[in-house]
Amino acid sequence: MDSALEDECQAINAIYTESTLLVLSRDPTICSLELPGEVNISLRLEFSNDYPDAPPSILGTQSVGENAAKGEGTHVVDIAREVLAEVYQPGSPCIFDLVEEVSQRLQQYSNLSSESQKHQEQQDAQRRGQQSSALNDDDDETSMPDHQPQSLDLLPDNEPPWLLSSVFTEKKSVFIARAAAVTSPAEAKSFLAHLLATDKKVAKATHNITAWRIHGPNETAFQDCDDDGETAAGGRLLHLMQLMDIWDVMVVVTRWYGGVQLGPDRFRLINTAARDAFVKGGYVKDASKPEASGKKKGKK
């Protein structure tokens, strides 16, 4: 094992606990990484002989505790891989930044999930009521869509300037995202109302998950999200916008369920579609600018 990795193991274990970063085997060098605050889950990492000139690989979970929720290990691995791609710089040790950023994002996600859970029962009850009404209608083709706005006064005068993502398909489920610049929560709501009122296919989709972040007057800010029956998906979309520092934009991710449950993969696909719409809409900051390139050091 390279001396640089040995030094990093000693430093990481001194900062956290003696079992945070442990060498499991050599040639290749395999280590376990225990995440602070996630004591039930540890990651399995592989280091090449060229580390830190070459990045480590996150192979998966090393261990998942009995009390961990189903799919939680996969979720942590996905976040860790995303973070590693952001924080790694050739020639620089990256495990400390990896541990800190992953821990921070897991805490943020936990907070967002708690907030979104408060609204979930009301959303589910409303959705069940809409579906019950639809079942009583004799002509499904001419019935009002589940997401039909109550008042046409909500609709904007012109077509919203949607930028569409590519279409993503997984096990017959189909995902597509729309993003548009908005200046107020009222405008965001009117754009969504217009979409649901004018696109019957979108209105009858299984889920239309939304999120927006908007700068208001006098240094105020507005942000909100809606799961539309896909538990915690809206909070994840909003979290993605926070991580990408996207403002004055709304996003709608539409999912048509294909009959096969995707588990946690559905969240990855939802965020992938949203990120693609942000990029295609030009809402992502230029990574070459100092404020973007310094992201990994500037924790807020």
**What is the C-alpha radius of gyration for the chain, rounded to an integer number of angstroms?**
22
CATH assignment at residue 40 = 3.10.110.10
Q: 117-131: per-residue pLDDT in tens? A: 555 555 555 555 555
Q: 245-255: per-residue pLDDT in tens? A: 999 999 999 99
Q: How far apart are CA 282 and CA 175, in angstroms?
A: 20
With respect to residue 261, please indicate whether it lies within any of the assigned structural domains: yes
Burial class (CB in 10 A: 0-12, 13-18, 19+), 4: middle
Domain count, the chain: 2
Q: pTM here? A: 0.48
> Do 165 and 101 fall within a single domain?
no
> Do 164 and 273 fall within a single domain?
yes
Could you tell me if 154 and 189 are in contact, meaning their C-beta atoms sit under 8 angstroms apart? yes
> Do 165 and 258 fall within a single domain?
yes
> Do 272 and 162 fall within a single domain?
yes
Give every CB contact of residue 109 below 8 A, 6+ residues apart in sequence. 79, 235, 236, 239
- In this prediction, residue 134 carries a pLDDT of 43
Q: 68-78: per-residue pLDDT in tens? A: 777 888 889 99
- In this prediction, residue 105 carries a pLDDT of 80
List phi, psi (to 5°) of 134.
-65, -35
Could you tell me if 45 and 98 are in contact, meaning their C-beta atoms sit under 8 angstroms apart? no
With respect to residue 114, please indicate whether it lies within any of the assigned structural domains: no
The answer on pLDDT for 196 being more than 70 is: yes
- In this prediction, residue 181 carries a pLDDT of 95
The answer on pLDDT for 158 being more than 80 is: no
